[in-house]
Structure 1
Amino acid sequence: MDMKLEVVVVPVSDVDRAKEFYSVLGWREDADFSADDGLRVVQFTPPGSEASVIFGDRVTSAEPGSAQGLHLIVSDIEAARAELAGRGIDVSDAFHDAGGVFHHAGNEARVAGPHPDGADYGSFASFSDPDGNEWVVQEVTTRAPGR
């Protein structure tokens, strides 16, 4: 049975501030619904993505800012960085991991610059939303078989 990732819940402390941030990213706003019991659900979808993010009031008990390592895949890490910076986003410089397998948590083992061989899945940049939820931009030009 196919199972597709549809939604990732991102814990935020201020829904309107988060809504402004994800709007500045250029993501499509799909929904902003409220219920009488205080539930508020806001959904945004990154350009080209089939999966969306949801945040709001009463949608998660996770601490605001606790989502780490959420990945966005791009075909050109430097172009993605330039676009994010052009939108006023505080995005890191491109980096690759010292071990070359996958990036470590936080800033551990980050080596400045894209992967020296331009290896797919090897170049990254990162940014955070106003609550500190971390997004990692990863360059992939040719997907590995089966992906």
Structure 2
Amino acid sequence: MTRIDYFDDPNAPKANSVVPSVTVAVRNEQGQILLIHKIDNDLWALPGGGHDVGERIADTAVREVREETGLEVEITRLIGTYTDPRHVIAYDDGEVRQQFSLCYEARWLSGNPREDGTETKAARWVSLSELDALNIHPSMRLRIDHAVDQGRTSPHLG
């Protein structure tokens, strides 16, 4: 299913659903950040996805990283909440979601990045100097910037 992200666009369709979701920032010993190249919108992003019934939200984060990248991780902190109603995601089945996402930081435990072929066409460690050269949605770049800001002591609320 394809998707289009709209951010602060007056021509965006009206939201008709809200689905809790997560993104996860994982860094390696060299300071690189784990990114995926998404199949549905051809953008680079932090791994993540929708919350399933019966899960704790932190378990959703661990599961999504495992499914999309093959890595095992441990959640270490909340980076922020992202609920801006000006950010909607339109799917080709008619669903238009208002953003509702929690972004976590996680510690890499094991595994090597790999694509899953369903949601991701690539998964790799990216140096911070490479970020500007990648096609990343502004709302995702905001999460990445918050994740790499080592001076933050409290989560982003917005």
TM-score, normalised on structure 2? 0.26
Greater radius of gyration (CA): 1
Query: Which structure exhibits the higher relative contact order, with contacts defined as CA atoms closer than 8 Å and separated by 6 or more residues?
Result: 2
Greater strand fraction, Structure 1 or Structure 2: 2
